A and B are shown apart, each in its own frame.
Chain A
Amino acid sequence: MAKAYETVIGLEVHVELATKTKIFCGCSTAFGGAPNTHTCPVCTGMPGSLPVLNKEVVNKAIAVGLATNCTITQNCKFDRKNYFYPDNPQNYQISQLYYPICRNGKVEIEVEGKKKWIGIHEIHMEEDAGKLIHDPYTDSSLVDFNRSGVPLIEIVSEPDMRSAEEVIAYLDKLRMTIQYLGASDCKLNEGSMRADVNLSIREVGAEEFGTRTEMKNLNSFKAIARAIENERERQIDILEAGEKVVQETRRWDDTKEYSYAMRSKEDAQDYRYFPDPDLVPIIISDEWLDDIRAKQPEFREEKKARYQEEYGLPEYDADILTGTKKLADIFEETIALDANPKKVSNWLMVETMRILKEKEMDADDITFSAKNLAKLIKLTDSQAINSTVAKEVFEKIFEDDIDPESYVEEKGLKTVNDEGALRSTIEQVIADNPQSVEDYRNGKEKAIGFLVGQTMKAMKGKANPGMVNQILKELL
């Protein structure tokens, strides 16, 4: 390849806002209902129905805008985007084109130690579409409007990214910020966060942008990275062959690892936007903005710094703990119950991470409570249980959020500190394992480990390991 190319990427990120009700009607946004059980005349586009805006959607959109350094449009409006599709009940989507709620923002990302600002062109509010399910029996599609009208914000970046790594870092930054705000859970695999990638190629040093394509259907960070790589190659091949990239929307198929153009002669891509006459302007006063500003939470960077300073955690640990809002929340809640910060951090950094990895889960999926973790730490602090038992109990906490105190009591897992009982057990172990005893006496230090193990086994793991060691040495 003679020429060097640069990839230019901009993102359109859709985020479902975590409100109780839909954007324009009082239907629930809860996941998982039977088809069309969360619908009403408004979100099914019945004739004569009218939209009424959910105030919380505006609050959350403003909060995201402020957190991403945007200018808030203090007189903003909704527009209609017209296109026919069965998941779009009115055949127009209520969105914002002319006066989006946020503009001109930026977020800082870090890739391989290098920091960079990514510009945000705008953030607008809109309604989500329904879901289409293919029905193989009748070879038709079934429409479920439960998701129709769920509030979305679309965050449109500037074409400031140059690699898949930057894209991932940007998405991660957005996700973290929005999760910290409690504005959305931002799960790519469940569709509460969705990214469309606009990508073009140009020769290094060129000033003009190349023709871009838009890639849809990217459901994981991995899919995004693969799709970017694939599209970059595809466009370079086209340019190298002396042909021109066609501006189009493409759909990524992650199992086949290739994309195809979503073109149809019935799809003119002419959305005929115009101001929605059914909705009135939103005037956002300075007081309203101040109010939301005052309620903004501590974000990741601030938290990370505070963890290091206040709790003396290493930077690495602070980074992991603040890496998801969920972990940071558990960490802080557990400390609030008088647990030692370093010990809490340890449980989260070691055991929690291990189990998450084993079970291929995200920190967001954690269901155990801070209360039970705090109790567990108390049990170990008082030496009521040993560390082996503690790990075992923690697994139960992780699994079912059990109360460790009653669990330990019930299962009789308390450490045996009774010297008499220990001594007689150890005497028995020594009597039963003459070979190991002799090995030890002949200088094989390791043999004592076997004897400790045998003692623990005999005591069903509940022996105080320090005492076992001490008595063994004494008797040998």
Chain B
Amino acid sequence: MDFSITAVELGKKIKAGEISVVEATTAYLDAMEAREKDINAFVTIDREGALARAEEVQKGIDEGKYTGPLAGVPVAIKDNMCVEGMLTTCSSKILSNFVPTYTATAVQKLIDAGAVIVGKANMDEFAMGSTTETSFYGETKNPWDLDRVPGGSSGGSAAAVAAEEVPFALGSDTGGSIRQPAGFCGVVGIKPTYGRVSRYGLIAYGSSLDQIGPLAKDVTDCATILEAICGKDDKDSTSVKEAGDDFTAALVDDVKGLKIGIPKDYLGEGLDPEVKESVLAAAKALEAKGAIVEEFDLSLVEYAIPAYYIIASAEASSNLERFDGVKYGYRTEEFSDLHNMYKKTRSEGFGPEVKRRIMLGSFVLSSGYFDAYYMKALRTKALIKKAFDKAFEKYDVILGPVAPTTALKLGESLSDPIKMYLGDIYTVSVNLAGLPGISLPCGYDKNGLPIGLQLLGKHFDEKTIIRAAYAFEQTSEYKRPAYAVERGE
């Protein structure tokens, strides 16, 4: 089987009867088996369930029940989305035995579209991290260089797509967790506008920032997947029905007159020269196609990370209180009383990065500090949103890098948390402002590692960034990591 094809291409082949759903699923499951010992992109692989489901979907396709572009296409789900009957761990010991009895809405929509879930993708524990090294189930490796991180927190999802273990995956993005691993792994990822995709069944990290989105090989796949999973959900009060959700209609190679702004603040100190060069070259390519590109001052960029870490940690400290050994998940074996049970369960069940953020979050919400930290951060958030609103009065799209560097070496960033946090500088403000963003490969550094380009749009205007991304994609060739190529058919 040709693993280089995209999800939509595979869907077409299945529809045309060139390959059966069972054949495709088996091929990917075999690929996963062969590659997982190197990559470790998965926490759970459900071979048996996937094959049974593949047969069912094939029948559904034959009977005309599944007619959409994703019918019969295998998919990996980030392990923080609940899937009924499938272990869902958030890559944490504290949920190491949790089998949900309900399914996340976004996942259900994929199931309804005929996708075949083959497994749950590895991630940073509770999505806290940018490298997938904080997983209880071991780090995921970057298919471009097995000594490097795939990025995070949706590192398993991105690596699985890059290594061609699955045609596409779902990830979640709280501060860059889809876009940055997509950038590090040379694939495409979309973080939709906050509210575009239901969060029901997504195990919360920072509830006001979290958003589910697709990771795949190209812009067409991502637009198609997003079209399948978006929409208002009665189970999520913060999900909305907004116009402009016919994303595939934006897959046109036309950026004439499109106004693109590049924040000068995104090109300054800390940005790797090779990344900068590549991103500016992408801007030139769009300009050559008729877009109007200029640099501008976005302002407030350096305040986004502190505001983000206060808000995300505060929300996380509250969201993660429910993991207490009472209703589900891990419970410590020996304890003297209730509070001892709580403390031992949580101290044994959470890893260091999660504990660090819970401690910080609990502190900033505690009596006497709430105004100074949390409220201050919410006010900063308002200012950042305003800065973007102002920029979007002038520009249709904001263009910049996804991350300051390409993929780091394993273990390189864990020693200094603040250094790791600084890697999120170009991604977190998008979550604070609730905006949509897309990440796609725009070049490769001297080590052959992919460089990510980020395009940001107005609220609920994913279509414009999809159009710009699609137009840019026409100027470049999708590159497969040597690892995937060598593994071959």
Contacts and interface: CB of A to CB of B under 8 A. Distances in A.
B59 interface: no
B323 to A, nearest CB: 8
Interface in B184-216: 199-204, 206-208
B237 A52 contact: yes
Contacts of B324: 84, 86, 91
B489 to A, nearest CB: 38
Interface stretch (B30-38, B98-106, B276-284, B393-401): B98-106
A278 B328 CA distance: 22
Contacts of A280: 237-238
B236 A50 contact: yes
Nearest to A141: B338
B446 interface: no
Contact of B367 (A44, A51, A143, A270): A270
A47 interface: yes
Interface in A77-117: 80, 82, 84, 86, 89-92
Nearest to B233: A50
A270 B208 CA distance: 23
Interface stretch (B314-322, B404-412, B465-473): B314-322
Which residue among B199, B315, B321, B374 has the maximum number of chain A CB atoms within 10 Å of its CB?
B321
Given A52-B237, A91-B321, A91-B322, A47 B95 contact: yes
Main secondary structure of the interface of A (DSSP, over half): loop
B336 to A, nearest CB: 12
B347 interface: no
B327 A89 contact: yes
Range of interface residues on A (Cβ < 8 Å): 20 to 34
Contacts of A51: 237
A124 B69 CA distance: 49
B233 to A, nearest CB: 9
Given A50-B237, A53-B237, A274 B365 contact: yes
A41 B328 CA distance: 11
Contacts of B339: 84, 264, 266
Contact of B321 (A41, A44, A52, A92): A92
B71 interface: no
Interface string A53-64: 100000000000
Contact of A50 (B199, B208, B314): B199
A44 B237 contact: no
A278 B207 contact: yes
Kindly name the residue among B101, B237, B317, B367 whose own CB sees the greatest number of chain A CB atoms within 10 A.
B237
Contacts of A266: 339
A279 B201 CA distance: 16
Interface string B114-128: 000000000000000
Nearest to B202: A48
Given A48-B203, A50-B199, A82 B237 contact: no
A97 B374 CA distance: 15
A49 B202 CA distance: 8
A10 B200 CA distance: 41
A454 B323 CA distance: 79
A278 B362 CA distance: 18
A46 interface: yes
Interface string B85-120: 000101000010010111010000000000000000
Contact of B314 (A53, A264, A274, A279): A274
A279 B235 CA distance: 11
Most buried by A among B101, B322, B366, B370: B322
A47 B100 contact: yes
B82 interface: yes
Nearest to B314: A274
A32 interface: no
A411 interface: no
A48 B367 CA distance: 28
B198 to A, nearest CB: 9
A272 interface: yes
A274 B208 contact: no
Nearest to A90: B322
Given A50-B235, A84-B342, A272 B327 contact: no
Contact of A272 (B100, B208, B235, B370): B370
Interface string A237-264: 0000000000000000000000000001
B328 A48 contact: no
Contacts of A274: 314-315, 318, 365, 370, 374
A41 B102 contact: yes
A277 interface: yes
Contacts of A49: 102, 200-201
B62 interface: no
Contacts of A45: 322, 327
B242 interface: no
Contact of B318 (A46, A48, A89, A272): A272
B81 interface: yes
A272 B326 contact: no
B327 A46 contact: yes
23 contacts: A44-B327, A45-B322, A46-B102, A47-B100, A47-B203, A47-B323, A48-B104, A48-B199, A48-B203, A49-B200, A51-B237, A52-B237, A53-B237, A80-B318, A82-B317, A82-B318, A84-B342, A91-B322, A91-B324, A272-B362, A272-B366, A274-B315, A274-B365
Given A48-B201, A50-B199, A82-B365, 15 more contacts: A45-B322, A47-B322, A47-B328, A49-B200, A49-B201, A52-B234, A52-B237, A92-B321, A143-B326, A270-B366, A274-B315, A274-B370, A277-B207, A278-B204, A278-B238
Interface of A: 41, 44-53, 80, 82, 84, 86, 89-92, 143, 264, 266, 270, 272-274, 277-280
- A-B pairs with lowest CB-CB distance, top 10: A91-B321, A272-B365, A277-B208, A277-B207, A48-B201, A266-B339, A47-B203, A45-B322, A270-B367, A48-B82
